[in-house]
Amino acid sequence: MRTLVIAAHPDDEVLGPGATLAALARTPGHHVTVFIMSEGVTLRHADVTLSDARAYCSQAAAELGVHDLRFGGFGTEGRLLGEGPQAPVVRAVTQVVEDVAPDTVLTHHPGDIHIDHRVIAASVTYAARVMGLGPLREVLFFETLSSTEQQLAPSLQFAPNVYYDVSGLIETKCAALACYPLELFAAPHPRSLEGVRNLAAMRGGEVGVGHAEAFSCGRQLRAVARREDAGSAVENQDPLRAQG
């Protein structure tokens, strides 16, 4: 099994599905790739260099147990992804999907208030438009604290229907977030360690486990198991996931 996370900025990959990544990375036979599209150091923190931003990402990935970390190099010219041509973004997303050949892609929710998140979600949707032509079988949208829950339009709000049981891994997620000290705030700001713990406890309560991370299923392609495939189909089921 191969899972690809496509995130806009350093820290989004942890704020969103960080504990899920840690769980999947610890699952035998499961390969996890993280692709950070826009380091954006000229927009976020003037005193952080590109090498600094990538070093923070590498430290966070190590905390989660992720060994395949890639960078898109966008945002370093001083503008948001949504402010430039969209064709290069779509091409970069399509290329990494083709290179990694994942079963599942995790990415931003299309209703996020951050324009970069929305551009990534739209690009992933384009790359996955004909799912049956490759190995990709599922696109899940994750929630990013301080962006997803701040959407006011009811039609664009996050409605989770897939949950990963990440009980026992929230402190691992918090340790990875601590690799981005400039991105964390004190409670009650949503992008705080308390906010992360509270959201995981709430999502866990929704499905009856200690802690969970929630996703919205964008698209899923299922194959009907033939009789001779039934045994292998059972063996390949993901034990971490519960669909609502």
Position 114 in a domain: yes
3-class secondary-structure state, position 93? helix
User: For residues 186, 192, 193 and 199, what is the CA-based torsion angle, rounded to 10 degrees?
Assistant: 130
Q: For the chain, how many residues are written?
A: 244
* Structure-token pair, residue 228: 């001779």
Position 125 in a domain: yes
Position 159 in a domain: yes
In whole angstroms, give the CA distance from residue 6 to residue 153: 24
Interval 80-103 mean pLDDT: 90
Position 244 in a domain: no
Position 113 in a domain: yes
Look at residue 236 and tell me whether its pLDDT is greater than 70.
no
CATH number reported for the structural domain that contains residue 159 in this entry: 3.40.50.10320
Position 243 in a domain: no
Which pLDDT does position 132 carry in this prediction? 85
Position 241 in a domain: no
Q: What is the pLDDT of residues 184-202, one digit of tens each?
A: 889 999 899 999 999 999 9
- Reference 124, options 153, 102, 94, 101; nearest CA is 94
Domain holding 142, by residue range, is 2-236
Q: What is the pLDDT of residues 17-76, one digit of tens each?
A: 999 999 999 999 999 999 999 886 655 666 778 888 899 999 999 999 999 999 998 876
In whole angstroms, give the CA distance from residue 138 to residue 128: 9
Q: How many domains does the chain have?
A: 1
Position 198 in a domain: yes
**What is the 3 state secondary structure string of 183-241?**
HCCCCCCCCCHHHHHHHHHHHHHHHCCCCEEEEEEEEECCCCCCHHHHHHHHHCCCCCE
Q: What is the pLDDT of residues 130-171, one digit of tens each?
A: 988 899 999 999 999 999 999 999 999 999 999 999 999 999
**Alpha helices, DSSP H only, in the chain?**
12-15, 18-25, 41-44, 50-64, 87-100, 115-127, 170-177, 193-207, 230-235
Provide the pairing of β-strand 104-108 with 138-142.
parallel
